[in-house]
C-alpha cells in the first residue's frame, strides 16, 4: 500500500520485538501525528546509522514496540513543501512519513542533493562536532580516525583535511577501505587488526604523536590511541561497538598531559543555533565540492534487514540509505 490520497497511511519497516535483522517487517501503518514544535516530513530517503543496530537489539534507546527505527531522514516538509533533512531522536526514520522536532530540522540548499544532505547531517555533524568542539583541532596537528571508511569516519577524514590538519592517519580494516580513505586525503593508513597497534600508530605519527584521536570503536583501539597520543593530545570517545570497554586512570592521562573527551551529538542538537550553523557549514562544503559523502548503497524498505547485516559485517564504505518508496515504484 502506498500513502493514500487522504495522507493517513504509509509503509514502514517495523520491529515487533528486539532482536536480529530478521525482526524487520515492511507493513502498512498510520502516519505519525505532529505535536507542538514538530513537523511532518514526506520522506524520500532515510538513513541507516550504526546506532540503529544497537536500537534493534534493545541495547541502546528502547522505543515502545512495535517500533520504527531510523534516526535521519530527508524529504519535503508538510505545509510548505520545502526540502528538509532532520535528525530523529525517537526513531521513526524507516518510513514514508516522519515526525521531527522543528528544532532538529534544517532546510537543504539547492546545490546539495537528497542523498548528500542525508549522509552529511547525522554523521557529518558528528565528525565536525568531534573534531572542533571536543577535539579543538588546530591547524597543523596530526589526526587519527578509526573506522575511517565508515559513515562518520570518511567525513572525519575529509573534514580534518578541511580544518587544516597537518597529517591524517586513517584506520580501516581492508585494502579496499584503505585505498578509499587515501583517495579522500588520508596521508597514512593503517589496519586496526593485528598486534602492536599503538606502536604502528606511533611510527606513523612520529616524531610528535597523535594530537587528536577520533575513536569510533572503543576497547583496545581506544587504549592504543591513548598510548600513541602526543603530549597535550586529545582522545575523543565518539562511538563504541559493544566490546570490552577501556578504563583509564587519571594518572595515565596526567602522565601524558592527555585529555579524554567524550562527544555526543545530542549536545549539538540541544543548541539550535549551533546545530543549524554546523549543518550550514557542511552543506556549503558539499555544495562547493569540498566534502563528498559516499553512498555505499540504497536499499528499499524491505532491504533494511540486509543493510543492517552489511553494516554489522563491516561490508560498507560510507553511508547506507533507504529509498522508502522504492517498493511502491517497483510494484
Beta strands in 78-195 (DSSP E): 83-87, 97-101, 105-107, 142-145, 167-171, 188-190
C-alpha cell at 272: 539550535
Bridge-based pairing state of the strands 210-215 and 229-237: parallel
Nearer to ligand NAP, 216 or 235 (CB): 216
172, 197, 269, 321: residue in contact with ligand NAP (rule CB under 6 A): 172
75, 153, 233, 303: residue in contact with ligand NAP (rule CB under 6 A): 153
Buried b (16+ CB within 10 A) or exposed e, 36-46: eebbbbbbbbb
What's phi and psi for 232, nearest 5 deg? 70, 15
Which 110-149 positions form the footprint of ligand NAP (CB under 6 A)? Answer: 122-123, 126, 147, 149
Nearer to ligand NAP, 31 or 122 (CB): 122
If one counts every other C-beta atom within 10 angstroms of the C-beta of residue 266, the result is 9
144, 152, 236, 307: residue in contact with ligand NAP (rule CB under 6 A): 152
Question: What's the closest the beta carbon of residue 14 comes to ligand NAP, in angstroms?
Answer: 21
Give CA–CA dist 65/53, Å, rounded: 16
DSSP state at residue 161: H
Check binding of 297 to ligand NAP (CB under 6 A): no
Give CA–CA dist 90/62, Å, rounded: 9
Span near ligand NAP by CB under 6 A; candidates 75-83, 271-279, 282-290, 306-314: 306-314
Span near ligand NAP by CB under 6 A; candidates 27-35, 90-98, 301-309, 311-319: 311-319
Which 77-116 positions form the footprint of ligand NAP (CB under 6 A)? Answer: none
Residues of this chain that bind ligand NAP (CB under 6 A): 49-51, 122-123, 126, 147, 149-153, 172-173, 177, 192, 216-217, 238-241, 263-265, 311-312, 314, 316
Amino acid at each position: 500500500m502506498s500513502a493514500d490520497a487522504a495522507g493517513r497511511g504509509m509503509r514502514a519497516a517495523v520491529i515487533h520485538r528486539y532482536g536480529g535483522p530478521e525482526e524487520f517487517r515492511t507493513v502498512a501503518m498510520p502516519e505519525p501525528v505532529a505535536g507542538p514544535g514538530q513537523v511532518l516530513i514526506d520522506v524520500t530517503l532515510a538513513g541507516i546509522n550504526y546506532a540503529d543496530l544497537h536500537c534493534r537489539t534493545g541495547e541502546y534507546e528502547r522505543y515502545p514496540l512495535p517500533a520504527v527505527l531510523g534516526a535521519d531522514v530527508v524529504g519535503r516538509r508538510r505545509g510548505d513543501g520545502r526540502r528538509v533533512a532532520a535528525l530523529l531522536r525517537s526513531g521513526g526514520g524507516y518510513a514514508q512519513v516522519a515526525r521531527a522536532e522543528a528544532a532538529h530540522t534544517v532546510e537543504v540548499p539547492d546545490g546539495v542533493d537528497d542523498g548528500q544532505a542525508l549522509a552529511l547531517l547525522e554523521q557529518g555533524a558528528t565528525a565536525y562536532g568531534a573534531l572542533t568542539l571536543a577535539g579543538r583541532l588546530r591547524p597543523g596537528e596530526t589526526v587519527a580516525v578509526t573506522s575511517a571508511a565508515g559513515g562518520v569516519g570518511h567525513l572525519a577524514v575529509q573534514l580534518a583535511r578541511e580544518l587544516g590538519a597537518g597529517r591524517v592517519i586513517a584506520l580501516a580494516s581492508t585494502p579496499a577501505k584503505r585505498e578509499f580513505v587515501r583517495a579522500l586525503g588520508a596521508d597514512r593508513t593503517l589496519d586496526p587488526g593485528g598486534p602492536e597497534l599503538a606502536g604502528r600508530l606511533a611510527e606513523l605519527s612520529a616524531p610528535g604523536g597523535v594530537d587528536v584521536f577520533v575513536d569510533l570503536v572503543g576497547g583496545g583501539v581506544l587504549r592504543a590511541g591513548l598510548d600513541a597520543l602526543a603530549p597535550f593530545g586529545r582522545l575523543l570517545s565518539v562511538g563504541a561497538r559493544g566490546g570490552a570497554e577501556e578504563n583509564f586512570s587519571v594518572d595515565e592521562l596526567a602522565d601524558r598531559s592527555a585529555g579524554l573527551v567524550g562527544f555526543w551529538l545530542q549536545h549539538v542538537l540541544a543548541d539550535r543555533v549551533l546545530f543549524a550553523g554546523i549543518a550550514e557549514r557542511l552543506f556549503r562544503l558539499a555544495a562547493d565540492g569540498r566534502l563528498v559523502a559516499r553512498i555505499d548503497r540504497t536499499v528499499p524498505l524491505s532491504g533494511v534487514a540486509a543493510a543492517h547485516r552489511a553494516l554489522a559485517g563491516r561490508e560498507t564504505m560510507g553511508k547506507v540509505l533507504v529509498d522508502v518508496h522504492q517498493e511502491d515504484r517497483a510494484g
